[in-house]
Amino acid sequence: MAEKMLQFVRLAQHQPDKRDATDRRADWNEVYRPFVAEAATEQASRCSQCGVPFCQVHCPLNNNIPDWLKLTAEGRLEEAYEVASATNNFPEICGRVCPQDRLCEGNCVIEKGFEAVTIGAVEKYITDTAWENGWVKPPKPVRERPESIGIIGAGPAGMAAAERLRVLGFQVVIYDRHDRAGGLMIYGIPNFKLEKDVVVRRWHQYAEGGIEFRLNCAVGRDISLGELRRKHAAVLIATGVYKARDIAAPGADLPGVVAALDYLIASNRKGLGDAVPAFDSGALNAEGRHVVVIGGGDTAMDCVRTATRQGAASVTCLYRRDKANMPGSMREVYNAEEEGVRFAWLAAPDAFEGKAKVEAVRAVRMHLGLPDATGRQQVEPIAGSDFTLKADLVIKALGFDPEDLPVMFDEAALSVTRWGTLKVDHRSMMTALPGVFAAGDILRGASLVVWGIRDGRDVAEQIAAFVEAGKSSIAVAAE
């Protein structure tokens, strides 16, 4: 092994520099500065090249992390990019948005005592460098095939499947109800975590590689699933989950109480230069407002940090458990704290007060009780602990459920689980409808970009096998 590695004993962990919180609040640019080449090489060299790399085991894509760290440490960046992109369609995006503290880095063996290798930041550095140097190429089939595949949804799952299928030679058409490709990577995740041109350049490169995008096309409204099944050799449903969970409290329907995704989509569209009447009217704009965000996940963190950048008068996050039990990435919680967000831990809304519109949130303090069957501590209200928070914009960020797909697609035979996600055969990833497959959040429930990519890659192989099997059965029948 090159003596370049194992430097963790000598070199401390050093994440790329974070911009000052005051500067961050004043713009929409990403929080972390890029690694300079020397820092990336040094940080990569901290890896101890484990025989059983737990980082790789805990990466949903099983990325070959030790190999690309070693290549980076040796300055062989083009090869590092080849290795990183062999298992991941968007390494630069995962490097930015994966909750590494829960995945690869959280399982790095030198984490105990020496702090993890900065895997995500190096992955981002390698791939950003690859883009700068023109090493990232459009998908290119070795040989064209006549069969076409229809994909519903241009999020990470649909896009990853599209790339793989295109490389295998299929004619690929992606249908999306939005006017831009990227799914939640373009309209959900804010610019300060993932700058939009990073997503747009992938979309444009896929189009250059022959993947057809039919945007502004909602399946179930503009075209039916039945029609897609007749047009294509196979269809993939990768539509994500979008039905916002609601709060059953008095006043929850007052004007000024809004859903997180409506709020974030308006903000992202504004940043992309679109006309957004609901933003301009103030309905989905936090400027000068007292904002209360309800929830403790990544979506809630994105909302509080968006509100600070819009110039809110105050931003408070109301979460019914404590900090240690927050489901969101701790890194994002710290970033929010630095940016001036106030947290009201162990507190839940009881009612929304106001006449013509919301003016305050009445909340109650909670305490953590005994664990339930899943081991998670139950929360219970503390009697007489009510308090009031001034609020003229309340954002509900309580998670998402799937839309009713059998109804939306008018296909009663499309079976769903009790959570509303699509039911598939777990090996073939095919739904109850022959030739119709599923991937991403609509299959596993609200999840992560990296899991969407994983599903997209897996389902592409299953679709290819399905089409091949269909061809051979036709050939057998014709004999």
Q: Which does 63 bind (CB under 5 to 8 A by kind): ligand SF4, ligand FAD, none?
A: ligand SF4
Instruction: Decide: is 225 part of the binding site for ligand SF4 (CB under 6 A).
Output: no
Interacting stretch for ligand FAD, rule CB under 6 A, among 199-207, 217-225, 318-326, 337-345?
Answer: 217-225
- H/E stretch holding 461 reads helix 449-478
For ligand SF4, the binding residues in 414-453 under the rule CB under 6 A are 450
Task: Spell out, one character per residue from 35 to 54, where the chain touches ligand SF4: x when CB under 6 A holds, - when not.
Answer: ------------xxxx--xx
Instruction: Decide: is 236 part of the binding site for ligand FAD (CB under 6 A).
Output: no
In the complex with ligand SF4, the residue whose CB is nearer, 285 or 329, is 329
In the complex with ligand FAD, the residue whose CB is nearer, 41 or 299, is 299
Interacting stretch for ligand SF4, rule CB under 6 A, among 101-109, 276-284, 290-298, 339-347?
Answer: 101-109
Residue 306 DSSP class: H
Contacts of 97 (CB under 8 A, 6+ apart): 185, 189, 193, 194, 449
User: What 3-state class would DSSP assign to 20?
Assistant: coil
Instruction: Decide: is 109 part of the binding site for ligand SF4 (CB under 6 A).
Output: yes
* Nearest-approach distance from CB 82 to ligand SF4, in angstroms: 16
Q: Contacting ligand FAD (CB under 6 A), which of 141, 209, 220, 399?
A: 220
Interacting stretch for ligand FAD, rule CB under 6 A, among 140-148, 152-160, 365-373, 383-391?
Answer: 152-160
Contacts of 241 (CB under 8 A, 6+ apart): 400, 401, 402, 403, 421, 441, 442, 445, 446
If we measure between CA atoms, which residue out of 166, 116, 128, 86 comes closest to residue 15? Answer: 116
Do the Cβ atoms of 415 and 315 come closer than 8 Å? no
Phi, psi angles (nearest 5°) of residue 233: -70, -25
293 alpha-carbon distance from chain centroid: 20
Continuous H helices in 118-220: 119-132, 156-167, 184-187, 196-208
Instruction: Decide: is 66 part of the binding site for ligand FAD (CB under 6 A).
Output: no
Instruction: Decide: is 393 part of the binding site for ligand SF4 (CB under 6 A).
Output: no
Instruction: Decide: is 98 part of the binding site for ligand SF4 (CB under 6 A).
Output: yes
In the complex with ligand SF4, the residue whose CB is nearer, 53 or 452, is 53
If we measure between CA atoms, which residue out of 70, 52, 59 comes closest to residue 105? Answer: 59
For ligand SF4, the binding residues in 72-91 under the rule CB under 6 A are 88
User: What 3-state class would DSSP assign to 23?
Assistant: helix
Helices 330-338 and 298-309 cross at an angle (nearest 10°) of 20
Q: What is the size of the binding site for ligand SF4 (CB under 6 A)? A: 27
Residue 51 DSSP class: S
Distance CA 429, CA 334 (A): 38
Instruction: Decide: is 85 part of the binding site for ligand FAD (CB under 6 A).
Output: no
Gyration radius of the chain over CA positions: 24
Contacts of 384 (CB under 8 A, 6+ apart): none
- H/E stretch holding 378 reads strand 377-381
Interacting stretch for ligand FAD, rule CB under 6 A, among 36-44, 119-127, 181-189, 387-395?
Answer: 181-189
Q: Which does 240 bind (CB under 5 to 8 A by kind): ligand FAD, ligand SF4, none?
A: ligand FAD
Contacts of 224 (CB under 8 A, 6+ apart): 409, 410
Q: Which does 326 bind (CB under 5 to 8 A by kind): ligand SF4, ligand FAD, none?
A: none
Q: Contacting ligand FAD (CB under 6 A), which of 239, 268, 310, 316?
A: 239
Q: Contacting ligand SF4 (CB under 6 A), which of 80, 94, 257, 284?
A: 94
Instruction: Decide: is 276 part of the binding site for ligand SF4 (CB under 6 A).
Output: no
Distance CA 402, CA 414 (A): 13
Instruction: Decide: is 363 part of the binding site for ligand SF4 (CB under 6 A).
Output: no
In the complex with ligand FAD, the residue whose CB is nearer, 53 or 155, is 155
* Nearest-approach distance from CB 366 to ligand FAD, in angstroms: 24
Residue 58, token pair as written in the block: 């805990």
Q: What is the size of the binding site for ligand FAD (CB under 6 A)? A: 37
Distance CA 182, CA 189 (A): 10
Contact residues: ligand SF4, CB under 6 A: 47-50, 53-55, 59, 61, 63, 65-66, 88, 94-95, 98, 100, 103-104, 108-110, 117, 119-120, 123, 450
Contact residues: ligand FAD, CB under 6 A: 97-98, 152-158, 175-178, 183-185, 188-189, 193, 218-220, 238-240, 261, 264, 298-299, 302, 440-441, 447-450, 452
